[in-house]
Structure 1
Amino acid sequence: MVARHLVTRHGARNLLLVSRRGADTPDARETIAALRAEPGVRVTVAACDAADRDALAAVIAGVPADRPLTAVVHTAGVLHDAVVEAIDPGDLDRVLRPKIDAAWHLHELTAGTDLAAFVLFSSVSGVNGAAGQGSYAAGNTFLDALAQLRRSRGLPAVSLAWGPWTSTSGMTGGLTATDLRRMRDAGLLPLDAAHGLALLDAAWQRPGPALRLPLALSLPGVRRAAHEGRALPLYRELAGSAWRETTAPGTDAGPASALDRPGDGTLDQLLAGRSAQDQETALLDHVRAHAAAVLGHRDGRRVEPARTFKELGFDSLMGVELRNRLTAATGHRMPAGLLFNQPTPMAVARYLRTRIGPPADTAAGTLDEGIGRLEALLASTPADPPDLDRAVTRLRALLARCEERYATGVAAGGDVADAAAGDSGDEDVRAALRAASVDEIFSFIDQEFGTGRREHGE
């Protein structure tokens, strides 16, 4: 694509195409034939590993004197995504040789050549960092530094830190729909061919710094990422002051939660005074929302709490992204093995409660949870008169004991509970409890312990 653009847009008539497989590179023959069909265009194809200095020197030495090199465009790149612990020296070599070794050899072997341009195809991963692309990011950062070095020596150079492209290539072919969706959520849009080539022209031909970032950004996406604490400072500056504002009504803000804004007190407000169970429920909602965003879902309810992350579709890189999201959301650094040790969303929520949650309101929590379970059981039990009569009798006896214990320490407010307000009305209270209906009994529980119940017959 770039070679064709140099011919059709910039009038190049002599091309030397170098790759490890030469004309045997996939789709190369069709591309070469199309280029040679252009009037006056001569194309030379060399099979050469540019990371092999001697082999590359031989290719450059073979350039005809009447058609000297005037520009170098280095586009090579190999991806091998993996977390750092899984990268071995062989993996590192496969990624770095085409980037670092080849670019350095081109720099040294053309140092005495009167070049008009020395263009390096880098990647925004070297600027942003990218989950699972530590070796690839390092190789691209080297290209960025090489461009700076050449500039400092008065040599032409520009390093283009590309964002993703829509067209499939060696670098983008491995991106899944989920990968692209995550990029969009971060505000990074894929470039189509026309847009990418226009940015190539602008970056190559206009004066400016040695490192350029040809990107397509979505400001709403950047603002959303900044709002959630996921955007880099560079992008936060691009988003401007609007990133501090809440998303406008009707727009898609992704997973919004009190955990998305660490350090503003909302986490404590969210969890304070709640029982352990309620804290876990609130945290689980947020874990599911972030997991859904990583998976490309818009709704956290699609993430089943008890299923393992592997069953949900997570790979190691997604696990890194979720861990980073939770670190940003909570303000607490999550351990590298978070999803290994806590393999389900529910397990992560429980871990977060013990790690960052304030102390649960244990006494109130125990009562609330127990009454809630009792209420749910009554609501789901068939109305069998003998069983119901026995249950009501036991509940009335239990309430009588509770009244005796708490009559002097709980401020009550009405109906059955009014009888519990003083020490002198014990017999009246017992009589009221014995005569109370099931609704009145649950009303007493609500008033005394502050529970929000369902109707017992629902």
Structure 2
Amino acid sequence: PVETAFWEAVEREDLNSLVTALELDGPDPLTSLLPSLASWRRRSREQALTDSWRYRITWKPLADPKTTVPPGTWAAVVPAGVPEARRVVEALREQGMNVLPLEVKAADADRGAFASYLRETLDGTAPAGVLSLLALAEGPHPGCPELPAGLGLTLTLIQALGDAGTAAPLWLATRSAVTTAPAGTAGADRPVDPAQAAVWGLGRVAALEHPQRWGGMVDLPESLDRRAATLLCAALAGPDNEDQLAVRGTRLLVRRLVRSSLAAADPVPAWTPRGTVLITGGTGGIGSQTARWLARRGAEHLVLTSRSGPAAPGAQQLKAELTELGARVTIAACDVTDRDALTALVRQVEADGSQIRTVLHIAGAGVLVPLADTDLLEFSDTAHAKIVGAANLDAVFDHSALDAFVLFSSISAVWGSGEHGAYAAANAYLDGLAERRRARGLAATSVVWGIWSPEDGGGMAANLAEEQLRGRGIPFMSPQSAINAFQQVLDRDESVVVVADIDWERFVPVFTSARPSPLLGEVPEVARILATEAAPAGAGDDDSSVRLRLTGLSAEERRRAISELVCTQIASVLGYPGPSAVDESRAFRELGFDSLSAVDLRNRLSAATGLRLPVTVVFDYPRARALAEHIGAALFPEQAPAAPADPAEAEARELLNSIPLLRLQESGLLDELRRLAQSPDTESAAVHGDGDSTDAIDDMDVDGLIRMAYDN
């Protein structure tokens, strides 16, 4: 309290309070020192804030990966005319994997035709996994030249697998999509291929939107020798839920997000702009805020581009403001996706001897749409400005005369974000491009941003968006603090750095509600949260108020009471008038639940019952009735139904219980199994097709049940 009061007085520059508190004498105590001390305090607080926003990606070896050959038949989707993809299939077969290759021609990869091809080729076979090698296809996509072929084909595959009802986990194989050791370090990788990196951005979104049919991504080495093929098999076996891996040498590496604090870093000279600065998207919200900062930092000439140029809203006011700050300003209408137009603009700017020394690529817009609901053209429109604009800038400024070449990326590229498929892919391309330029010895920095708060407040829509994102654990960052963090990045000439304000207490439960994320596990706050979540789930203390209140009731009364409790909490989360408005038989998705509301319900039920429920409980029990039954069994385990006496029946039930309900539901098995379980034995025999009583449900094992469900 004393220290807090002291620093509050310093920040207010309240001399009288400090003199009194410190019992100082003299006619002029601390008068000259106080402003400096207050400024130092503000800088220290700002440094601590921006430090808490800094992260980076690192790779660590997976300790003792089990060299297991994945069981079952795997479908390998291979781009036609790509020998490297075929060699991967052969290498896996040599390891003992049962691989069924499915060759796809890029020109014929229409979504509907792709789904039909999958159905016909698989012919009722349920693959244990699907390995996509489509990312290895090079060049532009035939149906959408603005997209890399591998990226467009991968999107169509993700959609077609869903359309075909294939629930097997999908793995994406790439080559040079990531760098596990930067250029200039021991064991440095080949330069990153940005088009391959974009596939990883797409995959991270697919993992969130389709968690129950997602496997992961693995980056391959240049040459897949026997040892590398063994490690690829180990990766496909899915060790410890790892879903972002790279095969390098004799090691299997896994991707991790870690903090990147500057607290103990040595001081470095402050970066200042020289000559001319080119800013794409310069008249937009973030572009204009950055331009003002550059003008205050002494930029001589600012060239702000956008498609509208001087006609953009607020452009003339911005120009006047920047001019008043001392900068010469050019606002130009230029679509940076047009290479010729960009080249002409650069020549025009430099014709008077004003050399461009800094490039900031901020242009780009995102249209939010789930992967299943988009098409190639819509996907391309969203990715176009970022990908093609960055590629053009890279080509035009393919020289070493730049002080800085900065790409504004997004956290959606680092860990994914629902409905951001094209945007995440485009920004992952930017991150890969920065790594590739660095490998060529050129200036390049990709800043992976969180969400900037609108400088003017943004109005009601922005306030609503901020409230929703804050609930998901992503608060808006103040523009001034974001700019301060940007200065630090430029001071240290960093390659790829994440700058984002994340409330991990809120973010982690939502983000991991459908599937775990080892990527985040080494952030200290996340490790603590996951350790708490990993504690065994079960009933609370014996004196739990809910348990005591229900103990004296009959089984039916207890069932009704727990059902009412669950429905009451559902109604509160969804804004229903009361528990009677909740249909216990409807799936939570149909009721309107998303990841955030699912975690909210789980938290409310944990607090109400004293149970430590897993974050996936709403996905594992996706209807109110099933969730109430699960809670009842957890509160009163001693009164749960006894285990079957028949060992075969016990094994069958254990196997069925090990399959998440959401996976059964997405594969089309859940409703069929429910119908079969409710049918008389004679009916079930007839359903199976031959009427033989030996095929009655009671006489079938789990494999038989699953086959029957697939046949129907």
Q: Please classify the TM superposition score into its range, dividing by the shorter chain length.
A: 0.5 to 0.7
2:361 maps to: 74
The question of 1:60 aligning with 2:342 is answered no
Decide whether aligned partners of structure 1 residues 147 and 285 sit closer, same or farther in structure 2, where only a CA change above 3 A counts.
farther
Report the counterpart of residue 470 of structure 2 in structure 1. Answer: 184
Match of residue 107 from structure 1: 394
- 2:328 counterpart of 1:42: yes
Matching of residue 6 in structure 1 with residue 294 in structure 2 = yes
- 1:193 maps to 479
Q: CA deviation at 1:45?
A: 1.9
Letter in 2 for 1:284: C
Query: Which structure shows the bigger proportion of residues in helix conformation?
Result: 1
| Alpha carbons of structure 1 residues 284 and 149: separation in structure 2 relative to 1, 3 Å | farther
Question: Partners of 2:476 and 2:376 in 1: how far apart?
Answer: 31
Residue 538 of structure 2 contacts residue 635 of structure 2 at CA under 8 Å; is this kept in 1? no
The answer to whether the 8 A contact 1:189-1:216 is kept is: yes
Confirm or deny that 1:214 pairs with 2:499: yes
1:80-113 Cα offsets, whole Å, 9 max, x none, are 1122222233331221111111111111111035
C-alpha distance in structure 2 between counterparts of 1:164 and 1:317, whole Å = 26
Superposition RMSD in Å: 4.2
Per-residue CA distance 1:57-84 (angstroms, 9 max, x = gap): 2222323251111110011121211222
Residue in 2 that maps onto 1:165: 452
The one-letter amino acid paired with 2:499 is P
Q: Deviations over 1:341-378 (max 9, x none)?
A: xxxxxxx31254579985999xx99xxxxxxxxxxxxx
d(CA) in 2 for partners of 1:316, 1:30 = 48
Change (3 A) 1:325 1:107: farther
Q: Are the structure 2 counterparts of residues 87 and 351 from structure 1 closer, same or farther at C-alpha, using a change threshold of 3 Å?
A: farther
5+ long unaligned stretches in structure 2: 1-288, 584-588, 603-613, 641-712
Report the AA paired with residue 53 of structure 1.
Answer: R
Structure with larger Rg: 1
Residues of 2 paired with 1:138 and 1:321: CA distance?
23
Q: Distance in 2 between matches of 1:322 and 1:332?
A: 10
Partner of 1:94: 381
User: In proportion to residue count, which structure has more strand?
Assistant: 2
Pick closer, same or farther for the CA change 1:226–1:46 going to 2, 3 Å: closer
Identity %: 27
The corresponding residue for 1:284 is: 567
- d(CA) in 1 for partners of 2:590, 2:403: 45
Q: CA 1:244–1:78 in structure 2 vs 1: closer, same or farther (change >3 Å)?
A: closer
8 Å CA contact retained: 2:399, 2:442: no
> How far does residue 162 in structure 1 lie from its aligned partner after superposition?
1.1
Which deviations, in whole Å up to 9, do the C-alpha atoms of 1:384-433 show, x marking residues without a partner?
xxxxxxxxxxxxxxxxxxxxxxxxxxxxxxxxxxxxxxxxxxxxxxxxxx
Structure 2 CA distance for partners of 1:194 and 1:243, relative to 1, 3 Å: same
Contact 2:386–2:430 (Cα < 8 Å) also in 1? yes
Shift of 1:316: 11
Q: Does 1:266 align with 2:549?
A: no
Which residue identity is paired with 1:196? A
Q: Secondary structure at the match of 1:159?
A: strand
Query: Given residue 536 of structure 2, which amino acid in structure 1 is its aligned partner?
Result: D
Partner of 1:444: none
Q: Note the C-alpha offset of 1:244.
A: 6.0
Whole-Å separation in 2 of the counterparts to 1:305 and 1:135: 41
Aligned CA distance change for structure 1 residues 359 and 33 (closer, same or farther; 3 Å): closer
Give me the whole-angstrom Cα distance separating, in 2, the residues matched to 1:82 and 1:316. 20
Q: What code does the residue aligned with 1:222 have?
A: W
Question: CA, structure 1 residues 224+93, in 2 after alignment: closer, same or farther (shift >3 Å)?
Answer: closer
Deviation at 1:285, TM superposition (A): 5.0
Paired AA for residue 120 in structure 1 = L
How many positions carry a matched residue from both structures?
A: 318
State the Cα distance separating 1:222 from its structure 2 match.
Answer: 1.6
String of CA shifts for 1:194-226, please: whole Å, max 9, x gaps: 111111111122243x22112224xxx423544
Matched, 1:350 2:625: yes
Is the aligned partner of 1:16 residue 2:299? no
TM-score by length of 1: 0.58
Match of 1:139 in 2: 426
Give the whole-Å Cα distance in 2 for the aligned partners of 1:318 and 1:58. 51
1:24 to 1:322, Cα distance in 2 relative to 1, 3 A: same
The superposition leaves residues 166-194 of structure 1 with CA deviations (integer Å, 9 ceiling, x where unpaired) of 21699x88965454234324443211121
1: distance between equivalents of 2:630 and 2:600? Answer: 16
Query: Runs of 5+ in structure 1 lacking a partner?
Result: 247-260, 293-299, 309-313, 339-347, 366-458
